[in-house]
Amino acid sequence: MPSPLNSKKESRSVRLGGFSRFLAGIIALISITLFSACHPTLTREAHKPEETLRRVHFFYPHFQDDMDLGSLAAAVDQNLLYLERLPENAVFSYGSATFTRQQIVETQRTLLDLLSKKKQAKQLNNEIRKLFWVFRATGRAGNNKVLFTGYFEPTFEARLVPDSTFKYPVYRKPGDLIRIDLSRFREKYKGESIVGRLSGDTIVPYYTRLQIEAQKVLAGRNLEIAWLKDPVDVAFLQIQGSGRLVLPGNKSISVGYSSSNGHPYRSIGRYLLENGLLERENISMQSIRGFLAAHPSLVQDILNYNPSYIFFRVLEKGPLGNIGVPLTPGRSIALDSRLFPKGALAFISCQKPTINKNGTITGWKAFSRFVLNQDTGGAIRGAGRADIFWGNGQYAEIAAGHMKHEGELYLLMKKPDR
C-alpha cells in the first residue's frame, strides 16, 4: 500500500524538479493505488451478502437481450409463484441495501412491461437507467469478474428393477438423514446448517460417497428410485442436480435434487488436472467422461475423491431450482444462495458456443440477456461464480460441458415511485 508520505515527497519534487515531475509522480501514485494488490476490491472475494453487490453509478452495461421475450416472461411467471408463497414482510438483501417482496415483484413486472413495448435499444437503455437501480456483483478476487459455467438436464437409460447391466442405484433421501439449522442455536450461524445422522444419542456426519458406493451402506433399505448402467452416469446426474430417466416402453421419469449428504463438494475435474491426467486447456465434461471411459479401473477412486453425494426425488415437472419452481432454459441461473437474493432479476454478459451440425464447437460468441436467480449448487460458491441452466438436448450438453468463461453479473431493482 503506498505510504501517505509519498504525497510529501511529491510536493518536494515540485520545488526540485518542476511541475512535470510532480504530475508524473501523482499519476504513478494513482496507478499504484488503483491497480496494486492493496485495492480493497481486488484482495479477496466477498463472503458476506453486504459485500456481494455494489450500486452502479457510472459505466452501465448495454442492456441487450439475445433471447425471445416469451422465455423471459415464462421465467418471471415462475418467479412470481415463488414470491407469492413468501410472507409479505420477507426481506431481500442486495449488497448493503434491503428490499421487500413487493418491490421484487414490481421490479420484474415493470421490466416485462418495458420490454413488451419493443423500444429501440438506445431508448431501452435509457429507460432502464431511469427506472432501475443497477447492482454489480463484486466478482472474483483479482479482477471483479464472474466465472460462468453451465449445467443441463441429462438423459439416461434406466430400469426400475436392477439386472446385470443396470445395477447402479439412484437413491432417494434416506429417512435417517438430518439437517440441522444452526441459526436456532446461535445468531452468528444464520444461514448455516449441518447434515448428519443419529448414532446412539450422538449426531455424526452422514455417510460419504465411498461408504455409499463402495461399502453399500444404504443397500436393502428400499431407497432406489431407478437403476443406471454406469456409475459415471450416476455421478454426472448428481453434478447436474436433475435429469430424465428413460425407461422401456418409451416411458420416462424426471428426477431432481432432494438433499445432499452434507460433505463438501470436490471437483473430479480438478483432481484430474492436479494429478496430470488431463490438460487444463482440454478440460470439459466431455473430456472427463472420455477419460473415465478409457480408464475403468480408475473410475471408483476418482469418483470417490468427491465425498459429496446427492439424493433425488421424482418430479412431476422438472427440473426444479432451489426456489421450488421449474427452471427455464437460458433464463435460469444458479448463484450462491448464502450471498445472493433468491428469485432476483439479473442481467448477464458472457460468451456462448457456436456449434456446427456435427456438434463441434466452431467458436465462442458474446451474448447478454436478462435472467432469474432460481437455483444454487455445491460448486457455486462466492460472489464470482454463476451457473447457467441450458435445458436439454445437444446444444445444452455441449454448452454446459465446455462453458468456463468470465463475464459480468448485474441485479436490477426498480426505483421507488416519486
41 in a domain, yes or no?
Answer: no
Over residues 12-24, the pLDDT tens digits come to: 333 334 434 333 4
307 shares a domain with 177: yes
* Nearest CA among 309, 298, 292, 295 for reference residue 211: 309
Over residues 312-351, the pLDDT tens digits come to: 999 988 799 999 999 999 999 999 999 999 999 999 999 9
80 in a domain, yes or no?
Answer: yes
Q: Which amino acid is at 172?
A: R
Domain carrying residue 81: 49-151+322-414
R_g of the chain computed on alpha carbons: 25
pLDDT of 369 > 60? The answer is yes
Cell of 62: 448495454
- For the segment 53-69, the average pLDDT, to the nearest whole number, is 91
Are the beta carbons of 369 and 348 closer than 8 angstroms?
yes
189 shares a domain with 58: no
295 shares a domain with 187: yes
Where residue 133 sits, what CATH number does that domain have?
Answer: 2.40.40.10
pLDDT at 379: 81
* Nearest CA among 79, 64, 63, 65 for reference residue 328: 79
Cell of 246: 428413460
End-to-end CA distance of the chain: 43
Where residue 240 sits, what CATH number does that domain have?
Answer: 2.40.240.50
At which of 315, 335, 351 does a domain end? 315
pLDDT at 282: 83
pTM: 0.78
- Judged by average pLDDT, the poorest of 193-197, 278-282, 412-416 is 278-282
At which of 283, 315, 347 does a domain end? 315
At which of 315, 333, 352 does a domain end? 315
Task: State the Cα–Cα distance between residues 147 and 408, nearest whole angstrom.
Answer: 8
Averaged pLDDT of the chain: 87
pLDDT of 400 > 50? The answer is yes
pLDDT at 45: 66
pLDDT of 3 > 60? The answer is no
Over residues 213-234, the pLDDT tens digits come to: 999 999 999 999 999 999 999 9
- For the segment 80-107, the average pLDDT, to the nearest whole number, is 94
Q: At what angle do helices 285-294 and 231-240 cross, to 10 degrees?
A: 160
Number of structural domains in the chain: 3
